[in-house]
A and B are shown apart, each in its own frame.
Chain A
Amino acid sequence: MPKLIVDGIEVEVENGATLLQACEEAGAEIPRFCYHERLSIAGNCRMCLVEVEKSPKPVASCAMPAADGMVVHTKTEQVKRAREGVMEFLLINHPLDCPICDQGGECDLQDQSMAYGVDGSRFHENKRAVEEKYMGPLVKTVMTRCIHCTRCIRFSQEVAGVPELGAIGRGEDMEITTYLEHALTSELSANVVDLCPVGALTFRPFAYTARPWELKKTESVDVMDAVGSNIRVDARGAEVMRILPRLNDDVNEEWISDKTRFVWDGLKTQRLDTPYIKENGKLRPASWDEAFAAIAAKLNGAKPESIAAIAGDLACAESMKALKDLFAALGSKNIDCRQDGAKLNAGNRASYLFNSTIAGIEEADAILLIGTNPRIEAPIINARILKRARAGGLKVGVVGPRVDLSYDYDYLGAGPQSLKDLGAFADVLKNAQRPMIVVGQGALARADGAAVLAEALALAKSAGAVSGEWNGFNVLHTAAARVAGLDLGFVPGEGGRDVAGILDGASKGEVSFVYLLGADEIDMGKLGSAFVVYQGTHGDAGAHRADVILPGAAYTEKPATWVNTEGRVQLGRRAVFPPGEAREDWTIVRALSGVLGKPLPYDNLAALRAAMEADTPHFAEVDFIVPAGALPDLPKGELDAAPFESPVKDFYMTNPVARASAVMAECAAGRARQRIQAAE
């Protein structure tokens, strides 16, 4: 542990720490462009120069290991002059287009030039001009602004695991580009824009729409997948203008997927902003009272066995709690939150959580992926696995789809039969200190899902995946609502119907009333002649089938509780108000319960959350993980021979919000084009 003196303050830093980290430890602010905590060190911008005693020249602190006894000065005249020199060189070729640059107001170069910029230019030649490079529909480039920090290159190689950015040419003619300017193919590609310290890479969909200082920033949680990435929603007036990542080392570090980031235009289109009632086969706008009256007319006198509710992938915990309580009051047991039909066991929390936690991936030394493609189901989790793989000593095995995961793995088989005989990988799991078994929805949402789950649980136990604090059994969810739904018990009661049963009943006429809480991924054709209420945000499959539509609030428009695949309870906050007549979802259910004469016992959010916490105490532990306890033994069953398939067919089109987004549609079309080209 080297001890050194920075600006007269003695600090002790970890072995292997850099001088820059030591300076920060001592509270000195070091300007930088190329250095980034989560990327490898490049040392090419030279902005972090400091003075070290007994060193003849200023030292680039980001690339210099801190050594015992160093005496460092960061505020001397020499340091200031050296940094001013670096800044002057950087500005030689940097255009003075800050007024029209989208980075303006949140630009590292702009900020640091306030401290180290000189007032005039001594450079009389023409500035360099660089052609724009095409990088796909998400990342806009203005390459003349590039200062060659190479953060984007390092990101694509080290974090995204898709090395497609590079620097061609040399010296002044160096240019950042992809190979022959193909579009970026990573699901995390737009993080390069966050990393870009200048305006060379900006968000194409956000171009010229807003300035950072006019945006209202709301910290919230993402619902595009089950990771629960922490996000910041930037809004102006009633409009969400963009979504950025928020730092959370336990979940998403500081990355978010492209879908999380660019889905916001989907929040503005195809919205349900007023209740609708179907009359003579056509939907007409209606008032809330009319809509509730229409529902009450169907529900009053209906047999409890003939009514059912399905919660979709984007339903918040509050709305599911309210709907569950309403159906309990109506006497129905036909409720289910697993619209994909996953055979998850709601009775035991450990059997449906990502128990190792996302941060725990970094401690694992063997990972078996069963029926999942984490790269498209949860890109953030895939990035963690890649991070672990790059650190060395990790063995990954895959049973399921054979896809490019961006790291090497042993392919063990396509279907559940391979689980019985893992070959050499069985020993890898047994010998591992911290083995992880990750079961995807592709392995569970099928007829033999329960048997696969039992097999995976048995495998986890026999491999010694559960020991002491370590629980190596993991279920990777794809829906933001799923874990909360299972936690709250939004599953069929004794003798109740699950999703398949509800659909079956509806097509046979045994179920005459179905309440869809944002459920769009079921086969609407099977709902038969049932009376369908759709409560949700977008005019998607559910709304098209519905007899009554109740407009709800999207995840950016309501304070809501989300539980991610790890079982981490997180709070989303309201950035903007829902459009038109749309309301927060739990209040809709509460109002309906009043009309039906079975009022729910909570009148405000605090009371609802208190009720939730009373049933499921871990909902009070916001942002933390409550360990789920021991794994159950489940009865084994017959395993099918059919290969596993990832439930996510198209990364950009997984939910109603994404399907309403023009940007996501463009991405999906671009990816389809690339697939066709690759096939040729």
Chain B
Amino acid sequence: MSVRRLDPNQPASFAFTAENLDWAKKQIAKYPQGKQASAIIPLFWRAQEQHDGWLPEPAIRYVAEMLGMDYIRALEVATFYTMFNLSPVGEHFVQLCGTTPCWLRGADELKEVCRKHIGPEKTVSADGKFSWMEVECLGACVNAPMVQINADFFEDLDAASLERVLTDLRAGRQVKPGPQNERHASEPIGGLTSLTNVGQPETGGSN
């Protein structure tokens, strides 16, 4: 964690598209009268989605006004949750897990790949395609190490496979999310090591 600040370069204004506005109104309507402020996180999410993956200052004010909140209260929320990006991100935003399980399984190696292919952490690459940052556990430890790119998890990575994913994305080719080795989900590599006799008659057991 580090201090998060609003980006110095901000757009002049922000407004939801008609479609998003409709959606926002539905979200707000979910909450009882007087509790509209509860809708702030979904609205921020949608604003961030609409605005190329980051939340500009005018959007914070826009959402605050929509919910009848004071600006500072909305700013508190936007700066508290690290999923809201306060500065521009690349078209493909790589969140690299550096927490212990991933780190033990080679997250440092992945960081090197990111540095080489994208550039320094939290900066957008020259072509605007990529940016990356280290995040805390994303909850995919069984497939460590992993990164999240936009909405997709890429798991069971090593330097070579991450490099391949990044190159494909840069070239605009389709990539397959999920484990990047031969695994399908989180089953053991090289076949089952237990429950090998599923479907066969019980041979008796302790429970």
Contact = CB atoms under 8 A, between A and B. Distances in A.
Interface of A: 163-173, 175, 177-180
Contacts of A175: 3
B2 A173 contact: yes
Q: What 6 pairs across the A-B complex have the smallest Cβ distances?
A: A166-B72, A168-B79, A179-B71, A163-B70, A179-B72, A173-B3
A173 B1 contact: yes
Nearest to A164: B72
B73 interface: yes
A165 B71 CA distance: 10
A166 B57 CA distance: 16
Most A CB within 10 A of own CB, among B2, B57, B72, B79 = B72
Interface in B1-38: 1-4, 6
B73 to A, nearest CB: 6
B72 A170 contact: no
Given A164-B70, A175-B3, A170 B80 contact: yes
25 contacts: A163-B72, A164-B70, A165-B72, A166-B70, A166-B73, A166-B75, A168-B75, A168-B76, A168-B80, A169-B3, A169-B4, A169-B79, A170-B1, A170-B79, A170-B80, A171-B1, A172-B1, A173-B2, A173-B4, A177-B72, A179-B70, A179-B71, A179-B72, A179-B75, A180-B6
Nearest to B71: A179
Contacts of B79: 168-170
A180 B3 CA distance: 15
A568 to B, nearest CB: 35
Contacts of A180: 6, 57
A607 B162 CA distance: 94
The bracket for how many chain B residues form the interface is 10 to 19
Interface in B63-122: 70-73, 75-76, 79-80
A167 B72 CA distance: 8
A170 B2 CA distance: 9
B58 to A, nearest CB: 12
Nearest to B79: A168
A179 B6 CA distance: 11
Contacts of B3: 169, 173, 175
A386 B57 CA distance: 30
Nearest to A172: B1
A196 to B, nearest CB: 18
A170 B77 CA distance: 10
Contacts of B71: 179
Most B CB within 10 A of own CB, among A163, A167, A169 = A169
Contacts of A171: 1
A166 B79 CA distance: 11
Contacts of A166: 70, 72-73, 75-76
B72 to A, nearest CB: 4
Contacts of B70: 163-164, 166, 179
Contacts of A179: 70-72, 75
A178 B73 CA distance: 10
A172 B1 CA distance: 9
A179 B76 CA distance: 9
Contacts of A173: 1-4
A646 to B, nearest CB: 25
Given A166-B72, A168-B76, A169-B80, 11 more contacts: A163-B73, A166-B73, A166-B75, A168-B79, A168-B80, A170-B1, A171-B1, A177-B72, A179-B70, A179-B71, A179-B75
A163 B72 CA distance: 8
Interface string B156-180: 0000000000000000000000000
A285 to B, nearest CB: 53
Given A169-B80, A170-B80, A178 B2 contact: no
A167 B1 contact: no
Contacts of A169: 3-4, 79-80
A179 B73 CA distance: 9
Interface in B27-51: none
A522 B71 CA distance: 42
B2 to A, nearest CB: 7
Contact of A167 (B2, B57, B76): B76
A54 to B, nearest CB: 36
A164 B1 CA distance: 25
A179 B4 CA distance: 14
Contacts of A164: 70, 72
A606 to B, nearest CB: 54
A177 B76 CA distance: 10
A372 B53 CA distance: 48
A172 B2 CA distance: 9
A168 B79 CA distance: 6
A178 B72 contact: yes
Nearest to A173: B3
Nearest to A166: B72
A235 to B, nearest CB: 37
A175 to B, nearest CB: 7
A167 B6 CA distance: 14
Contacts of A163: 70, 72-73
Contacts of A177: 72
A525 to B, nearest CB: 45
A141 B80 CA distance: 22
A519 B156 CA distance: 84
Contacts of B6: 180
B121 to A, nearest CB: 17
Nearest to A170: B80
A84 to B, nearest CB: 27
A166 B1 CA distance: 19
B119 to A, nearest CB: 24
A167 B71 CA distance: 12
A168 B60 CA distance: 13
Contacts of A168: 75-76, 79-80
A180 B71 CA distance: 9
B76 to A, nearest CB: 5
Contacts of B2: 173
B40 to A, nearest CB: 13
A164 B69 CA distance: 11
B70 to A, nearest CB: 4
A167 B74 CA distance: 11
Nearest to B82: A170
B61 to A, nearest CB: 9
Nearest to A131: B3
Contacts of B80: 168-170
A132 to B, nearest CB: 14
A177 B72 CA distance: 9
Nearest to B60: A179
A165 to B, nearest CB: 7
B44 to A, nearest CB: 14
A512 to B, nearest CB: 58
Contacts of B75: 166, 168, 179
A591 B104 CA distance: 92
Nearest to B6: A180
A22 to B, nearest CB: 33
Nearest to A177: B72
Nearest to B57: A180
A463 to B, nearest CB: 29
A168 B5 CA distance: 9
Nearest to A167: B76
A174 to B, nearest CB: 9
Nearest to A163: B70
A170 B57 CA distance: 18
A405 B98 CA distance: 50
A464 B188 CA distance: 83
A358 B7 CA distance: 47
Nearest to B61: A179
Nearest to B80: A170
Contacts of B76: 166-168
